[in-house]
């Protein structure tokens, strides 16, 4: 299945992006010449990484009949200094909260996502170092 997006320039450095029928702005900050009306393109890569892994993890845990938890995913990255400025290091943290979460199943779900299923992770790891961490109830239980 092919994916596609369409961007329409709205003026200055702002674009209306359409992806799968959903619209959102892409822009840059005022200090870079934009109007700050939407996220930056590279930051969207971090959201795509988090979303891809998150969808996998929730689906895997559902199949394992694990459903009484909360999940937040945080991602940040460091860019190179030279142009083109790319992410050289990405950190992604999977923060779970819940009573009696089976640590082994949570770790297995995350590992399956980042090593087998998440295409965004697979693409980005070819260009960047990705450091992954799992935190359950504020305790770090795994990192790679």
pLDDT digits (tens, 9 = 90+) for 82-102: 999 999 999 999 999 999 999
pLDDT at 1 over 80: no
Q: For residue 8, what are its two tokens?
A: 């329409």
Domain spans of the chain, in order of start:
1-39, 41-143
For residue 34, the model assigns a pLDDT of: 97
For residue 86, the model assigns a pLDDT of: 97
CA quadruple 19, 52, 120, 44: dihedral sign: positive
- Residue from 109, 100, 99 nearest 134 by CA: 109
Q: What is the CATH number of domain 41-143?
A: 3.30.300.20
Q: For residue 50, what are its two tokens?
A: 């988090």
Which distant-in-sequence residues (6+ apart) come within 8 Å of 35 by Cβ?
A: 12, 13, 14, 27
């Amino acid at each position: 299945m092919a994916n596609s997006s369409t961007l329409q320039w709205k003026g200055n450095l702002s674009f209306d992006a359409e992806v799968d029928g959903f619209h959102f702005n892409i822009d840059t900050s005022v200090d870079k010449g934009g109007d700050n009306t939407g996220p930056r393109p590279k930051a969207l890569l971090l959201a795509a990484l988090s979303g891809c892994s998150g969808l996998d993890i929730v689906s895997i845990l559902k199949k394992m009949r694990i459903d009484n938890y909360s999940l937040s995913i945080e991602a940040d990255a460091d860019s190179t200094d030279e142009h083109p400025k790319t992410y050289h290091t990405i950190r992604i943290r999977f923060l779970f909260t819940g009573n009696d979460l089976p640590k082994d199943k949570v770790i297995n779900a995350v590992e399956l996502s980042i090593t087998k299923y998440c295409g965004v992770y697979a693409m980005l790891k070819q260009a960047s170092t990705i450091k992954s961490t799992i935190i359950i109830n504020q305790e770090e239980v795994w990192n790679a």
